[in-house]
Amino acid sequence: MTGLRVGVDIPYLASPAEIRDFVQAVEELGFDHIGFSEHICSTTDTVFPGPMFTFDEPWREAFTLAAFVAACTSRIEINPAMVLLPLYQPVLAAKLAAEVASLSGHRLRIAASITWNDRECEALGVDPRTRGARFEEQVEVIRRLWTERAVDHDGRFFQLHQTGISPRPAQPIPIWFGAGEMPKGAVPSALAIDRAGRLADGFKFAAPTYLDQAQLERSVGALRAAVAAAGRDPQQYGIEVRMIVQATTPDDYAGVVARAKSIGATHLGVANRIAGGTVDDQIAVCARFAELTRELWAQQQ
Amino acid sequence: MRIGAVFSQADAGTDPVAIRQWARDVESAGFEHILAYDHILGASAAKLGPGPFGSFPDAPYTEQHNFHEILTLFSHLAAVTETVSFVTSVLVLPQRQTAVAAKQISTIDLLSGGRLRVAVGVGWNPAEYAGLGVDFADRTAILEEQITVMRRLWSEPLVTFEGRFHHLDRVGVNPLPTRPIPLMIGCGGSDAVLKRVVRCADGWMPLLIPGLDSVSFAAGVKRLRELATDAGRDPATLSIHGRVYLGGGPGGGDGWQAGLEEALELGCSDCSIGFNRMAFPGRSHAEHLDAIVGAKEQIDAIVGRSS
């Protein structure tokens, strides 16, 4: 097993100059990936506890922000997470992702989920009751559009006849999944684990799951079993766990890295989005984490 | 009149370094905007069948032609430029989900510091609509409703809307753009479509093919202004975005200087300069730009003479 790939999130920064400063600073600090979430149509209600993740945060459309970040950076992996995939026409999502992958020099890793907000779904013309089935068909259609010149597809939700995107990605674009209901500790359901085992290139756990290591180990075990049951190799499957900066003190940062490695995670994401303060304060939070743990990232387990 | 350069989709290639350099070169040569066409999906020639498609006698593009997705392209190029604006020509809006487009446009507006202008239109390719799950027959009705919904999403924190094609219940694209985003309609010159421009848009981007469209640029502009006056709208509130091609237009003859002078005489707010790729096949994107930049001095002399 190789070392751990460690990344951070783009905080809710209002100005493009702040976004640029932040992403360039964390790339310079040596982080491997940078994540950011999206909403297309926000509503004022939320499933998240507390004052965070509210309507008033400056949400961006994931691929548009990804394209901007790609131009500001040169090395760091770009990880829109979660892409609320059922909200998109799959052909458009395939096209957007292919464009960002190309413009970024193949630094795109998508993490997709089925969304939670029914009103957001309805505003996009999507029936929230069928979003899971729709999501599965989307992933299939998107991967075919990335690899075939002209696609024929006659599915439950989508029909394509001799149509394709050009240019297609020069390399496979990883699609990871994420799932877990926030009021239930963000633990992924059996259905979500089965789906991710069959269809995803990796799984990005929601941030709160690291707070219960025993439960996280059970989820990872179930995920590996689902991957194997689908006839796939669990050793080739990505697993990202996360750490919430305001829920962990710096003296435990090394412990977080060790526990992530102990369950065989390939990636660790620092959930720093709501650390607060100026952009320099936010960079300092990331710098502190890097300073205290960097020498552990690459160490073999 | 603001002068821009046309980003030639089919010739731009896929090297991001070259694409970013192209945009920087356009900006440093003093062009005000970059204009790019939009296609999401191509269909095979067999699927498309024989033309005509709109005013095109044959399908101008198939699934073999490269097209960059323009909204992510513009977001990317906004990060490596400072002053140049971006113009869609046209964003084929009915085949896209309205709120996704509204959100992407507002995101680019904020990331670019207000450097995006959009021209929307209905496109020509039924196969592209089918692939995106939208009924081609409804395209103009969808477009009108979309413009209403987009403008509300750009100006109101929470929108509730019940229409024929849209059902929104207290949703918004927060953060809102900092300014009204200029929205033109790109279309031909029939009365029906010009009336839609007067009714719905901030301006007109004529999509007229010399020799193929029955309406000339000058006649279309004249008619648009008559229709605006008839509808009680000051024609001066309608911007007009023209276009000329170096190296001869599809109608033949290298008359770009005359085309530019006509755009000035007609009171266009903008004119984009393209390079006729059909007349010079095999030229690279950089060579197109060399030709456009090479003509800049002459362009400036023509535009400057009138100001």
Reported ipTM: the value is 0.95
- Minimum distance, in Å, between the CA of residue A234 and any CA atom of chain B: 34
- Picking from B68, B131, B166, the nearest residue to A91 by CB comes out as B131
- Of the given ranges (A97-111, A194-208, B47-61, B192-206), which has the lowest mean pLDDT? B47-61
Quickly state the pLDDT bin for B51 (edges 50, 70, 90). confident
Which B residues 7-66 touch A at CB under 8 Å?
A: 14, 16, 19-20, 40-44, 46-47, 63-66
| Average pLDDT of the segment spanning B156-174 | 96
Query: Strands B85-92 and A110-113, how do they pair?
Result: unpaired
- Of residues A86 and A300, more confidently modeled: A86
Distance CA B73, CA B86 (A): 10
What is the 3-class SS of B156-187, one letter each residue?
CCCEEEECCCCEEEEEECCCCCCCCCCEEEEE
Would you call B46 exposed, middle or buried from its count of C-beta atoms within 10 A (0-12, 13-18, 19+)?
exposed
Structure tokens belonging to residue A1: 């097993």
Residues belonging to chain A: 301
Dihedral, CA atoms, B260, B65, B7, B145, nearest 10 degrees? Answer: 80
Residue numbers in A near B128 (CB within 8 A): 163
B250 pLDDT more than 50: no
Residue with tokens 């303060």: A277
pLDDT value of position A50: 54
Quickly state the pLDDT bin for B47 (edges 50, 70, 90). confident
Distance CA A237, CA A89 (A): 27
pLDDT value of position B65: 85
Dihedral, CA atoms, B121, A64, B12, B277, nearest 10 degrees? Answer: 10
Which A residues 160-179 touch B at CB under 8 Å?
A: 160-167, 170
Q: B278 — contact with chain A (CB < 8 Å)? A: no
- Minimum distance, in Å, between the CA of residue B182 and any CA atom of chain A: 19
- The predicted model scores a pTM of 0.96
What is the H or E stretch that residue B241 is in?
A: strand B239-246
Yes or no, beta carbons of B99 and A59 under 8 Å apart: no
Yes or no, beta carbons of B69 and A99 under 8 Å apart: yes
pLDDT value of position A47: 65
Q: A71 — contact with chain B (CB < 8 Å)? A: yes
- Minimum distance, in Å, between the CA of residue B70 and any CA atom of chain A: 9
Structure tokens belonging to residue A197: 């085992």
pLDDT tens by residue, A194-249: 999 999 999 999 999 999 999 999 999 999 999 999 999 999 999 999 999 999 99
pLDDT tens by residue, A46-97: 666 554 566 778 889 999 999 999 999 999 999 999 999 999 999 999 999 9
Distance CA A60, CA A287 (A): 25
Quickly state the pLDDT bin for B251 (edges 50, 70, 90). very low
Rounded to a whole number of angstroms, the CA Rg of chain B reads: 19
- Minimum distance, in Å, between the CA of residue A294 and any CA atom of chain B: 30
pLDDT tens by residue, A17-55: 999 999 999 999 999 999 999 999 988 876 665 545 667
Interface test with A, best of B88, B107, B108, B176 (most A CBs within 10 A): B107
- Minimum distance, in Å, between the CA of residue B246 and any CA atom of chain A: 26
| Average pLDDT of the segment spanning B131-147 | 97
- Picking from B63, B170, B175, the nearest residue to A163 by CB comes out as B63
Nearest CA in chain B to A160: B131
Structure tokens belonging to residue B286: 């950089």
Interface test with A, best of B17, B20, B41 (most A CBs within 10 A): B41
pLDDT value of position B253: 54
What is the H or E stretch that residue B203 is in?
A: strand B203-206
The chain-wide mean pLDDT, for chain B, equals: 92
pLDDT value of position B307: 58
Distance CA A37, CA B26 (A): 33
Residue numbers in A near B168 (CB within 8 A): 41, 122-123
- Of the given ranges (A81-90, A165-174, B22-31, B272-281), which has the lowest mean pLDDT? B272-281
User: Phi/psi at A100 (nearest 5 deg)?
Assistant: -65, -40
Distance CA A113, CA A106 (A): 21
Q: B108 — contact with chain A (CB < 8 Å)? A: yes
CA geometry: angle B102, B106, B110, nearest 5 deg: 175
